[in-house]
Amino acid sequence: MEQFQVEIQVLQSLKHPNIIHIEDVFLSESKICMVRICIPKNERVTQYSMLDALFQVTEYMGGGELFDYVVDRGTLSEVEASTIVRQITSAVAYLHARGIIHRDLKPENLMLTSKSRGASVKIIDFGLAKLLDADDKTASFLGTRGYLAPEMLQRQAYSMSVDMWALGIIVYVLLCGCLPFDDDGGKIANEKAARAKFGLRFPRWASGLSESAKDLLRNLLEVDSTNRFTAEQALAHPWVTGARTPNKYLKSPNYLRSIKQEKVSQKMNGRMPHANGNSVEVCNGNGPTISVRRQSR
């Protein structure tokens, strides 16, 4: 129950254009169940009969997951990717300024308000969010493998900077169409090994990426968390602001479509391609319209 209460309290305290808005909460007597019911206006509302449950109703996000949008588009210009990243980074900066660490940023937890170009992107799913002072650290091993920062994989205490690592992975996925690093199940013994393991490289099909985009990625995917970009630093980066963002498209639409085909055929099944062509584990995403979690008191 405590986990759901924290998520509700966090969402109710937030008001940002790029963070999902909670419409209402309904609490029952003996059990707790969270149901995100996203229903377009003017459509008949399906009735759910769940006794002894907590219902959380959020705004409708008609565009589905950001990842699916990018894959379905086939190509994405750096300008459009920059616009998307700017929205996500703005929301993360807002969270961090209020002492909130998300801990599960990934494309499946980024939703679009509609399927049209220029739709807003919003962060969802605050089930792993935690209140944390700027200089504090925590050690809980949570999140989605493939988006976990090196310090988390090494079971070290970590700060809000883990969200910035996850943001870097998201930027890489948007621009390159794959995850950047191998995953050995988190068996990284020390800092030296971590640096070797997480040596940032770009696939051959991403050779046309601008130097500005690569510079942003290097600063977000910095193994040393003390040198990693903060959200405010990322917001000020020329690629994010658009000052040095070329309006050119990625060169690998077929590869992006292959990811979509694998996702559909395997229903994600805990796998996603990375830069060397193999696969790494990720958590299964919930559907874009309704997700349900139940926990007895």
Active-site amino acid positions:
104
DSSP structural state of residue 107: G
Torsion (CA) 224, 147, 220, 66 in degrees, nearest 10: -170
Q: Describe the crossing of helices 66-73 and 161-176 by its angle, rounded to 10 degrees.
A: 20
Q: Which residue has the tokens 């630093």?
A: 233
- Nearest one of 286, 288, 64, 281 to 179, comparing CA atoms: 281
Distance, CA of 295 to chain centre: 24
DSSP structural state of residue 226: T
- Contact between 224 and 158 (Cβ < 8 Å): no
Q: How many CB atoms lie within 10 A of CB 255?
A: 19
Torsion (CA) 84, 115, 267, 107 in degrees, nearest 10: 10
> Around 292, how many Cα atoms within 13 Å sit in the side-chain half-sphere?
6
